[in-house]
Homo-oligomer: A and B are copies of this chain.
Amino acid sequence: MLQAEAFTANQLRDAWPILSSDERLEGFQLLVPAEADEFFLMLSSADQAMLITAVAPADARRWMRLLAPDDAADVIQSVGEEVRPALLTMLDPPTGHEVRALLAYAEDEAGGLMNPRFARVRPDMEVVEAIRYLRKQAGRVEAIHYVYVLEADQRLAGIISFRELFQYPDDTLVRDVMHTDVITVPPDLDQEALGRLYVDTDLFAIPVVDAEGRMQGIVTFDDIADVVREEATEDIQKLGGSSVLPGPYLEVRARDMIRSRAGWLAILFLGELLTASTMGYFEAEIAQAVVLTLFLPLIISSGGNSGSQATTLVIRAMAIGEVRLRDWWRVFRREVLTGLGLGAILAVLGLLRVVLGEALGHSYGEHYFALGLTVALSLVGVVLWGTLMGSMLPFLMRKLGFDPASASAPFVATLVDVTGLIIYFGLAAVLLRGTLL
């Protein structure tokens, strides 16, 4: 299907993620004009902004005028404050007006993502009139997949898909066949909620309607596909215990990479310092029964691992709307059961390890069975504790107004480490009193 001249554009698209900015600009300028237009429209706003600010002003003007108002607004939002006025003046006056209106909305809300150019008809038009009227609009609007039926005061009366409109006899009134149970969103709806709505409804475009019911624009799925992926990437990066990277992995400079990761790592380290203090508190017990320390990494890591599992599952379930704040008690009950079950499994493995280790030659001393029981019971306690901390922290974070994803796997593991030590040495102090201790 690829033709010779199209091949270059496709090659460039494939290579794009691994090219430097200079190479991208160079490759882009090698495209034949017809391809360059299409290629340009496919790029992300950040890439479009990069090209526009790098080429000669005459070219920049041509590219700016190629963009739909919502996309032009995105490009303007991704350049520095000082360049924005110049880019705005490159637009034709009516578009410039529309773009300024869009810039008034936050970039990550429905109002900032919407396109004010949509296909519209009046409710009292006949189908044949409506189709003729749409044909006139076709060059101006972003999409004619859905047709919005507006009253004279711009209030949204209903919606009809173009495909449906096409099937009715010529003299049918639009009012009689339009759908009136329309899903709409307010201009200040957050993009994360918008993303969920798209995935849940499979709609191609969602109308943005102000408090008076007046139609403001449409947000189309392509503006949202990027958002859904971006949100997932940010959540994953936070789950791994980093800040969100300022760009694609291979493009972030070493200094910025260290900065994004050092913050959380240092905070976790400071938290982890508590383990040294806690260990200091138990120094006498450790000196008396060095054998206890052999199982220390095993026990605290098991708590950390079970906490990582729980926090990851709960954070994701929250992000996609499966679990809400008010479900915390249902989650708590589930995780008590799960934590006890998982703890019991590891306890059996741990006890076996001590008993078999003793049988196979490593001597843990005459009280090896009591030691094994201490390890096993500690595992139940630590795993249950890790599971509960991991599952409840995202709720606490959200309740306090933070992003639940901040309760990252390393964060939970660090919290569980300190309590894991206390559980282990505390149980040892009780169970091994008079024998090892």
Contacts and interface: CB of A to CB of B under 8 A. Distances in A.
Interface of A: 1-3, 5-6, 9-10, 13, 17-18, 35, 38, 42, 134-135, 138-139, 141, 143-145, 156, 162-164, 166-167, 180-184, 198-202, 204, 209, 213, 221-222, 225-226, 228-229, 232-233, 235-237, 239-242, 245, 248-250, 254, 257-258, 261-262, 264-266, 268-270, 272-273, 275-276, 279-280, 283, 286-287, 290-291, 293-298, 300-302, 304-306, 308-309, 311-317, 320-324, 327, 330-331, 334, 337-338, 341-342, 345-346, 349-350, 353, 357, 362, 383, 409-410, 413-414, 417, 421
B237 A269 contact: no
Contacts of A235: 236
A36 to B, nearest CB: 12
A240 B308 contact: yes
Contacts of A242: 309, 312-313
14 contacts: A6-B180, A249-B316, A250-B327, A258-B337, A258-B342, A261-B342, A265-B346, A266-B345, A270-B349, A279-B294, A286-B290, A296-B296, A300-B301, A413-B413
A226 B203 CA distance: 12
Given A163-B143, A293-B279, A305 B265 contact: yes
A272 B306 CA distance: 13
A413 B221 CA distance: 39
B249 A349 contact: no
A156 B3 CA distance: 13
Question: 5 tightest CB-CB pairs across the interface, nearest first?
Answer: A240-B312, A6-B181, A249-B317, A202-B222, A232-B232
B301 A272 contact: yes
Contacts of A226: 199, 202
A3 B181 contact: yes
Given A245-B313, A249-B313, A312-B237, A410 B304 contact: yes
A181 B2 contact: yes
A140 to B, nearest CB: 10
A237 B18 CA distance: 28
A305 B266 CA distance: 10
A198 B181 contact: no
A143 B145 contact: yes
A345 B308 contact: no
B338 A305 contact: no
A156 B156 CA distance: 39
Contacts of A198: 225
Contact of A156 (B1, B35, B349, B410): B1
Given A141-B163, A228-B228, A241-B312, 17 more contacts: A135-B166, A221-B221, A229-B320, A239-B312, A240-B309, A240-B311, A240-B312, A249-B316, A249-B317, A254-B338, A257-B334, A261-B309, A266-B345, A269-B349, A280-B294, A290-B290, A301-B413
Contacts of A199: 225-226, 229
Contacts of A280: 294, 362
B305 A414 contact: yes
A279 B420 CA distance: 18
A236 B316 contact: yes
A240 B239 contact: yes
A323 to B, nearest CB: 6
A312 B236 contact: yes
A5 B250 CA distance: 53
Contacts of A268: 301-302, 305
A1 B209 contact: yes
B134 A248 contact: no
A17 B322 CA distance: 6
A273 B250 contact: no
A276 B295 contact: yes
A298 B269 contact: yes
Nearest to A354: B276
Contacts of A383: 265
Contacts of A202: 42, 222, 225-226
A196 to B, nearest CB: 9
A293 B294 contact: no
